Structure formats: structure tokens, C-alpha cells
Structure 1
Amino acid sequence: MRNLGFGISRRALCLAAGAFASMWVLGAGAYAQDVPAGIDPDATIQAAIAYGLSGTFDPLSASGAVTIAVNWHVFEGLVDLDPVTREPYAALAAEMPVSEDGLTYTIKLRDGAVFHDGTSVTADDVVFSFDRVLDPESKSLFRSFVAFIDSVEAVSADTVKITTKYPFSLFNQRLGSVKIVSRAAVEADADAFGKQPIGTGPYKLISAVPEAQIVFERNDAYTGPRPALAKDMVWNLIADPSARVNALSSGTVMAIEDVPYIDVDAVAATAELEKAQSFGLLFAMFNTQAEPFDDVRVRQAFFYALDMDKIIGTGMLDNATAATSFLPATHPNYHEAAVVYDYDPEKAKALLAEAGTPDLDITLMSTDHGWVKDVAPIIKESLDQVGFHTTLDIGQSGGQYGKVDAGEMQVMIAPGDPSVFGNDPDILMQWWYGDNVWPKTRYRWAESEGYKTLTSLLEEAQRLSGAEQQAKWNEAFDLLSEEVPLYPLLHRQLPTAWNADELEGFAPVPTTGLSFLGVGVKE
């Protein structure tokens, strides 16, 4: 099927629009018992998830692929991004916020909103949820995403006032970075809350067993725009690609993410399958404070050495696009970078010679994700042909990052996709280049002049909008392409498959995870 824009197919847009229409016909307080005709309200949605479960569900710091996808269904922000279309919609807010003066937003909560334990959502819960993310002591991963906020105050029991430090054009797109939690539940036992969260979303989390399954139950007290259309959901955690495909073909599950590239044609013959062009990338990052990659010429030589046609064609069966900027070409804010690393082994050799390092012994670290393991030997082959003598170190992601954080990395390739948090260029750059662990202790670029310039560009862009904002982002993209402290090699296509005879309203997301918001099982 033909894709429109950033990984969103015509079918996905139609399904999302249809789901919204159905919900609003039924009214904002519609429960799953009032689902549209042809949908079984007593059905169970069965799905297969590709990634392992680890870490907390507490939205203060939950960042794993699985926990984020779970939280789409369990928690709500004042405004959330639709996981499929990436468009903002009023979730816990009664309506989309509008500023009175460009700095102040008065936001009323939707009527009847309650947490999964039956307690009412209050303005105090909203203030608490924002304050703990904004508190530097909490070390929240999402603090930089809402750094534009100056204060959050309760106006009344069901109304808050958010004041920003400056006019911020992405206000509504960014509010969903903070999910609203029950102050009472968190303060009673934060650890227990992280394991068994209490949200306001259409589904309740019943149990979560690593390497096994996650079980959800419909929240019949839900009063928002995305009521659950099934009685419950079971997400089977199936890391093995073949087992995931077998689960779909046997009818054990109704949808799977991350269809193995080698199985795409076979799966498409028996199920609905779409490839979404994602932001998700394979990046290379370097220890920029240690030889040899403290020299930008050596970092650039690394990129010029890579035969991306072979890496993508052989290693990924053409299911990716070579990076020509920080963003993929399908992104609405794409700008071709000042430096595009076409395959040029002679230029790579010349840069190494200019840097005084024509022959280098390096260790290339890599995570052990299946498709990353497939391309790592091809990357080694390209590097070895220009003068790098490459030793591969492939290992489990957690262990590899442990070595990175201990300062044991020269260069590492790994996958990443912060678009699960949002899709605007600022949030995507803030994840890797913001005031956090990445530039400080991983690729160790935070003390450089390049980093200071980049930070200044991002701060300026936050205060602008439209063409002026885009121009600052373009400067940032250009700078990153020249300095390449951490930079994409490619952007992946994500094949998702599902049984269209069983699921109604399903569409793949252009990131990791699956969304069943507005999705039901056919009678």
C-alpha cells in the first residue's frame, strides 16, 4: 500500500478518522459496551510484541519500547499524540488548550475523569505530575522535553494554569510528555506504582511478566475520546522472530510488530502487512574525547567508508533508507544536510591520512538486535577496506551500554527511536543531544564548541515558529552532519502485520510498539 508522508498510509488515515467518528457519535463518555456495530465488546485482543520487558511503567522515567507502548493505553496526558497519525488530541483536557497571551494556558479537565482505582482526577494530581518531572532531583528523562514550562498551578479542583517561559509553538504536541498520575498512589508507594501503575487510560494493566505476557483489562469508568473496544488484551512477549511469525500464521495472535525482513513476502501473502518508514535509525556514536575519534576527520572517514547500498541491500533486504540528514526524507521537517555521506572509500582514506592515522585498530561495539547483528559484519568489511582494522564486539544492549558508560567505548552502532515520545525535530534532537547522559558520558561531546553551538541553535529554535524555526533546525542538522558525534547511518522501515478479518480500526505505528486505541475485534 502506498504510504503518505511520515510512515502513514492512506488506509491508516482512513481508519483513524473512522475510529474518531465512531467515538464522537457515541459521545465522549462512551464505554466499550456501546461499541460500534459489528464489534465484539467481549473479545480479547491478542498481540505479539518483539521487545523484552524491563524497567518501570512509571511515566516519570519509563522509556523502554514495551513500557512506552503499554503506557499509551494505560496513562493519559492533558493532550496526547495519536500513535498512528502523530497528531495531538485532547485527552485529559476537556478541549485543546489555547493560550490567552502566548504564555498562559488555562486548562480544564474533562468531566468524570477518574483513575483506575476509582478516585477522581484533580488539578492537584496534574500539578504533582508536572512538578515531579520538572524537578531536577527526579532526574526524569523527560524534563528537557518540557523545559519551556515555567509553572503549573491549580486554579480550581478541575482546572490548571500552565505558564511558559516564552511562547512555544509546540506546546500541544509536547504536553503528552507528562502523563498524569495519582499523587496519592505514587506517594503511598512509588516502587509499587512503577510495577502496577494506576492511570486514567482506556485499559488497566492487570499483570506484566517479563519474557511471557502483559495482560490488560477494559476500564469501564473511562470517559475520554478513546474508549476500549475490547474486554481485554493479551500482549505475548515473543522476541524470537520466527515464533512471532508463527503466532500470527497459526491464529494465536491477531497482530505482530517487527516482521522479520526475510519473512515479509510470505507474511504479506496471508495477512495484511504494511511497512512504515520510521525515524527509527541505526546510529554510530564515538568517544569524541579519546583517540582516534577525537579527530572529526576520523569520524567522517568512518561514514564515507560505509557501502550503504550493500549494508541496506544485503543486510536489511532493502528495508531502510540511507541517512541524508538527521531526519528521514519523509519527515515533514526534513532538510538535506550540508554533508551527505555517499560511499566514497577514497575520500575516507584521504581523511585518515590527513589525520595521520592511515591504519587504525578499532573495536566496533554493537548491540545484538537481530537486524543489527546482520549488518555489523558488512560494516566491518567496509571499514577494513579503507584502513580500519576492526574487531567486532557484539553483545546484549544493557551490557554494551554498561561498557559505554564506563568509558570503554571507541565507537558503537546501535538502534534507537525516540519518536515514541514525539515527532517534532526538537524532541528528537533533545533525546540524543540535550542536557542528559548522551553527550555528557556516552559520546562525551558536551564540552566541545560544536555542542555549545548546537545547544544555542536548539534554544533559539524553541522561541521561534514557522520558517524561522525551521531555519534554525536546518542549521542544527547541518552542524550534526559535519561533526557526527552521534549520527544516523540509516532510517528503518518497520513491517507490521495483522489479521484484517479479525481486527477493525487497526493501523501500524511508525515507531516501535503496537497501538490498539480505537481498535476492536470483529464479531
Structure 2
Amino acid sequence: MRYTSAIGVATAITAGLSACGGPASSGDGTGGSGGDGDTIEAGIAYPLSTGFDPMITSGATPYAANMHIFEGLVDLDPVTLVARPTLATEMPKKINATTYRATLRKGATFHDGSAVTADDVVFSFERVLDPKNASLMAQFVPFIDRVTAVDASTVEFKLKYAFALFPSRISVVRIVPKKIAGADAKAFDSKPVGSGPYRFVSAVREDKIVMEKYDEYNGPHPAKAKKMVWRLISDPSARVSALKSGRVQAIEDVPYIDVKGFTGQDKVESVQSFGLLFLMFNCADARFEDKRVRQALHYALDTDKIISTALLGNAAAATGYVPATHPDYHKAATVYAHDPAKAKKLLAEAGVDKLSFTLMLTDNGWVKDIAPLIKESWAAVGVDASLDIQQSAAQYAEIDKGNFHALAAPGDPSVFGNDADLLLRWFYYGFWPENRYGWKGTPAYKRAKSLLDKAAAEPDAGKRKELWGQVTDLVADEAALYPVLHRKLPTAWREGTLTGFEPLPTTGLSFIDVGRA
């Protein structure tokens, strides 16, 4: 998963995905015109690296599929990332500062035909909150104290403390059937059952995922195609060829070099995302204890050259933690423009004469293109960096043992939520600072946590944004882990074959409210 395996979330690899699920409808849409004419075919960039259980999945591809298979009480619009009710009849109602209630959509059913009940909702949240389950989503809802069923269709949430973003944040928890997920979690992981507009049919790890319309779905976003076949095409050239040949109607992650090559019916659009390339330093390493060294390495980078040369202009240099297009954008008090003289001055002030270390990088194609330019920028200020490029899982295995100097890697938690609290907590609260880059126990980390906690309880949106701005200023100045750039995500599709299709600002493709033309 680009945004999680790249940032080291533990991967729960599930075996035996091949040919799971119920019977497929006739044919699998292999024809260039999309099978029976009501099948959406898509070219997906990543193979199945994990199963589908929404509590633990860390794979980009199953996570995207889950947007179609499962629902939350509240979901994020895949294009705008704005929260909207799905299984709930409306956004959760605030009873008091620490109590909310939600009412389930009448007649909602899971794909096995059973009714969605308040007990299923309670079970879904409790399994996420149970530490034994090591849920990826638990870190996003630490404010929930308990969830109870008021009646068969009403759920009440009691919070440990006031959290102003509660109504939208619970979108991270997808509702699953208790009798199925609770009976055999492993089987559920490979054969997911949700209440969304599409039901899972089958999956083959490096081949395809097949889903079909759930006819009994009665929610706000019914399937507009009878079937979907997601072709798992890791090779970028093959993915581009699949679109141009008409084998698929849309592809994700278009190589930057191919963006200008789409003409006629084949359209491409690069959408600005939160997705970033960040530098992370091991602050427990004596070479990087002084923040002036970390700052110097940022000032030394010729980010404009990196963007124009390696990414062909498809990115924006970081001037804050979130991109300038984000609603919670705050320009950091420290902006790392290319300034070799300042970099040399900071290194000298820190007493560093000859700095040498190994820079780990993940093996994403665009990251590998950037790697020599980083080395070149640092060499210009007298810094010798050896490059170590490997798969992200291998790199993070070493990092989690404390065996690293510095890392350049991609990350994008915005698929889970787009508010600044979630995005800031991902890298600056809990696991990452305490276990990865050695920030635990520092005054700066204590300050960041205090500001984030204060913002979480602040009911006034303006004051919240101001507090997030203070966190941004702090993490920019510290540069323990900080973005270099926010990249654009190019998506391509064949015009006239789909209705309602839009590219996403996050990894993946969405066919919610999309049909075949």
C-alpha cells in the first residue's frame, strides 16, 4: 500500500485469496469493450498485499475495494473527502459534550441478507478498540470510551473527553456482521461481507478482484454497474497499454513520463494530494540530535529541481505540513527554500565538518527517480550520503529495530481522514515519534502532544486551526520528520465509457456513483 506499507504499517498478509466468494455472474468482462457492456474494468497499480478485513487491512488495493464493499455509519466522499452519512440516517447527533447518538438506515442488510443492527455496530467498534486485535484504525478513535445499543437501530457513543471532530472521524470504522466476522476472522479477511453497493465475488493476488452489484442495497449510493473487474497490473507500461487498448476504462498511478501522451478519448488528470515525500532522521543518532543538522539537510535540497526533473512538475514544494490547497493549511514559520549557503552555515554552527550517513529509500518508481537528486543536493554542501533503496517492508523492518540513519519515503494517511488532527497525529503522536525517529521524551514532542490534545477538545474551529498551526511551526522547526513535497496523483480514463467518474486526491480509484456509459 503506497500510503501505509510505505510508512511502515504492519502488513497482515492473507493467504488463499484466489477464487474466494460467491458465484460470479456470467463472464468476467475480459473483452476489450467491458464484457456485457455493464461491467466496469479498471487497471490497479498494486497487487493484493493484505486481506480485506477493514479493521486491519493495510493494502492500497483491498482498502480501495472496501470503499465499495463496506459502509461506515459515516463515510468520506472519495473525491472531496467530506464526511457524509451512509449507514446512519444522518450525521451523529450530539447529546452533550461527550455523548453522541446515531440511527441506522431502515432496511439495511449485509450481503448475506441479514439485517444490519445496532449490535453489529457495537461489535465493529469494540473489535477496533480491543488492543488484542491490533487494529490499524484504533489510533484514530482513542477518544471513544464505550459504544452501546440503545435499541435495535440506535447506537450511543460515550467519549473519554470532548472531541469536536467526532461525527466525521468515525468514518474510519466500517461496520461488519458480528455473526460472520466474529465467528472466523481469518475467513472473513479473505471473503469480506459488508453492506455496501457491491458484494465481493473473488480475488486472485496478482491478477484481479471481481465484485458485483448488491441488488438489495437500499443506501444513498447504489451500484450503477452490474459488475466490476479490477485488473491488478503492477507494471506501469502494461497499465497504460490496457487503457489505450480499451481493455480497461480507467487506471490509477499513471507514470509521470506518460501523462502528456494521452490524446483523444483517453483523458488524464493530476490531482494535488496530501501524499508527501518526507525526510525522517534518527534523532537518537548523535549525528542528528542537533536540529540544525536536520534543518541544514532540508535547506540543501533543490526541491524545485527534484519536482521539475524527477516528477515532471507533478508536485508542490512543502511550505507547511499540509499542501496549500488543504482547508487547514498553515504556512510554516520555517520554510525550507533551496539555500546551500544557509545549509553550510547551520552545519558549521552545529560543529559538523564531514557528515556521512546512509539514506534509506523505498523502491517506489518515483522515489527511485528522486534519489540521485537528493544525493546530488547534499554533495553540493559537503555531505556524503550513501543510498540504500529497498522494498518498504524491508526498510521499515530495520527501522523498527533502530537500524537506520535517515529515510526518504512516501506517506499519505489522508485516505483515512483529511482533517489536520488525524494527519498530524499520524506522524507526530504515538507510534512514529516514540518508536521510529527517537523523539520520545523530548520537550518538543511533549509540546506537540499537548497542543494536539488541546486542539482536539477545542470546540471553536478557528482556535483549533490556530493550534494546529502552532504544531506545524513546531514540527517544521524540529525537522525530525517533515515533508519535502506533496505530489500530484495522475489518473487516466477513457472518455465516454464511464458516467460520473472523477480522479481522487488519494491512492486508488472509486466507482461509487459511477456507471458504464
Is TM-score (shorter-chain normalized) higher than 0.5? yes
Residue matched to 2:168: 173
Taking the aligned partners of 2:268 and 2:99, their CA distance within structure 1 comes to: 44
Give the distance between the partners of 1:226 and 1:285, measured in 2 at CA.
Answer: 40
Deviation at 1:431, TM superposition (A): 1.5
Q: 1:41 deviation in Å?
A: 9.6
Specify the code of the residue in structure 2 equivalent to 1:360: L
1:453, distance to aligned residue in structure 2 (A): 0.8
1:367 CA drift (Å): 0.7
Specify the alignment match of 2:368 in structure 1: 373
Matched-pair contact (CA < 8 Å) for 1:42–1:230: no
Instruction: For 1:364 and 1:270, locate their aligned partners in 2 and report how far apart those are by CA, in whole Å.
Output: 42
Q: Which residue of 2 aligns with 1:415?
A: 410
Q: Are 1:442 and 2:398 matched, yes or no?
A: no
**What residue is the counterpart of 1:18 in the other structure?**
none
Residue 62 of structure 1: aligned partner: 57
Are 2:449 and 1:455 equivalent residues in the alignment?
Answer: yes
Q: Distance in 2 between matches of 1:62 and 1:221?
A: 26
* Aligned counterpart for 2:221 among listed residues 215, 221, 226: 226
What is the distance in 1 between the residues matched to 2:50 and 2:286? 34
Shift of 1:42: 6.3
CA deviation digits over 1:294-325, x for unaligned, max 9?
22111111101100111111111111010011
Is the contact between residue 349 and residue 358 of structure 1 (CA under 8 Å) also seen in structure 2? no
The aligned counterpart of 2:4 is none
Distance 1:42 1:100, change over 3 A: farther
Residue 10 of structure 2 corresponds to none
What is the CA deviation profile of residues 135-173 of structure 1, one whole-angstrom value per residue up to 9, with x for unaligned ones?
Answer: 233222221211222221101111111122333221221
TM-aligned CA deviation for residue 48 of structure 1: 0.6
Superposition pairs of residues 511-522 of structure 1, within 5 angstroms: 511-522=506-517
Confirm whether residue 322 of structure 1 aligns to residue 313 of structure 2: no
Alpha-carbon separation, structure 1, partners of 2:176 and 2:428 = 28
What is the Cα deviation at residue 226 of structure 1? 0.7
Say which SS state the counterpart of residue 175 (structure 2) adopts. coil
Question: CA contact under 8 A between 1:42 and 1:231: conserved in structure 2?
Answer: no
Q: Aligned-residue CA RMSD in angstroms?
A: 1.6
SS of residue paired to 1:318: coil
SS in 2 for 1:501: coil
Q: How is 1:380-395 mapped onto 2 (pairs within 5 angstroms)?
A: 380-395=375-390
Q: What is the 5 A alignment of 1:74-89? A: 74-89=69-84
Report whether the alignment pairs 1:95 with 2:90.
Answer: yes
Q: Deviations over 1:235-255 (max 9, x none)?
A: 111111111111100001000
Question: 1:271: Cα distance to partner?
Answer: 1.3
| Residue in structure 2 matched with residue 24 of structure 1 by the alignment | none
Q: Secondary structure at the residue paired with 1:346?
A: helix
1:8 counterpart residue number: none
Aligned counterparts of 1:348 and 1:127: Cα–Cα separation in 2:
53
- Is the 8 Å Cα contact of residues 265 and 496 (structure 2) preserved in structure 1? no
SS, match of residue 100 in structure 2: strand
Aligned to 2:127: 132
- TM alignment of 1:470-509, pairs within 5 A: 470-509=465-504
The alpha carbon displacement at 1:434 in A equals: 2.4
The Cα shift of 1:280 comes to 0.4
Partner of 1:188, secondary structure, is: coil
- 1:408-436 deviation digits (Å, cap 9, x = unpaired): 11001111110110100011112222222
Query: Per the alignment, in what secondary structure is the counterpart of residue 216 of structure 1?
Result: strand
Asked if structure 2 preserves the Cα contact closer than 8 Å seen for 1:249 and 1:270, the reply is no
**Contact between 1:383 and 1:389, CA under 8 Å: does it hold in 2?**
yes
Matching residue within 383, 393, 398 for 1:398: 393
| Shift of residue 52, structure 1, vs aligned partner | 2.7
SS in 2 for 1:175: helix
CA distance in 1, matches of 2:326, 2:301: 24
What's the CA shift for 1:63?
2.5
Q: Could you tell me whether the CA contact under 8 Å between 1:364 and 1:393 is conserved in 2?
A: yes
Deviation at 1:268, TM superposition (A): 4.6
Aligned to 1:6: none
Matched residue of 1:334: which SS? coil
Shift of 1:397: 1.3
User: Match for residue 467 of structure 1?
Assistant: 462
Query: Helix, strand or coil for the counterpart of 1:94?
Result: coil
Residues 323-358 of structure 1: per-residue CA shift (max 9 Å, x gap): 011000010110100100000111111111222222
Question: Are 2:292 and 2:346, in contact at CA under 8 Å, matched by a contact in 1?
Answer: yes
Letter of the 1:515 partner, please give it.
Answer: S
Deviations 1:474-500 (A, max 9, x none): 000000101111110000011111112
TM-score using structure 2 length: 0.91
**Cα distance in structure 1, aligned partners of 2:293 and 2:233:** 40
In the TM superposition, what is the alpha-carbon distance from 1:192 to its structure 2 partner?
1.1
Farther off after superposition, 498-507 or 203-212: 203-212
Distance 2:44 2:391 in 1: 18
- Stretch moving more, 426-435 or 122-131: 426-435
Q: 1:100 aligns to what SS in structure 2? A: strand
Aligned with residue 268 of structure 2, among 248, 273, 279: 273
CA displacement at 1:51 relative to structure 2:
2.0
Counterpart residue type for residue 267 of structure 2: E
Structure 1 residues 12-91: aligned runs within 5 Å:
43-91=38-86
Q: Distance in 1 between matches of 2:392 and 2:79?
A: 27
Confirm or deny: 8 A CA contact 1:365 1:409 kept in the other structure.
Answer: yes
**Partner residue, 1:510:** 505
User: In the alignment, which residue of structure 1 is the partner of 2:346?
Assistant: 351
Moved over 3 A (4+): none
CA distance, structure 2, for counterparts of residue 41 and residue 75 of structure 1: 25
Q: Distance in 2 between matches of 1:484 and 1:140?
A: 29
Mapped to 1, the partners of 2:186 and 2:399 lie a distance apart of 27
SS in 2 for 1:99: strand
- Relative to the length of structure 1, the TM-score reads 0.90
1:440 aligned partner, one-letter code: E
Return the alpha-carbon distance in structure 2 between the equivalents of residues 140 and 510 of structure 1.
25
**What is residue 198 of structure 1 aligned with on the other side?**
193
Distance in structure 2 (CA, Å) of the matches to 1:83 and 1:381: 38
Question: 2:23 matched to which residue of 1?
Answer: none
Mapped partners of 2:201, 2:475: distance in 1:
43
1:353-383: per-residue Cα shift (whole Å, max 9, x none)?
A: 2222221111111111111100100001001
Rounded Cα–Cα distance in structure 2 between residues aligned with 1:145 and 1:135: 13
Asked if the contact 2:265–2:495 (Cα under 8 Å) also holds between the matched residues in 1, the reply is no
More helix by share: 1
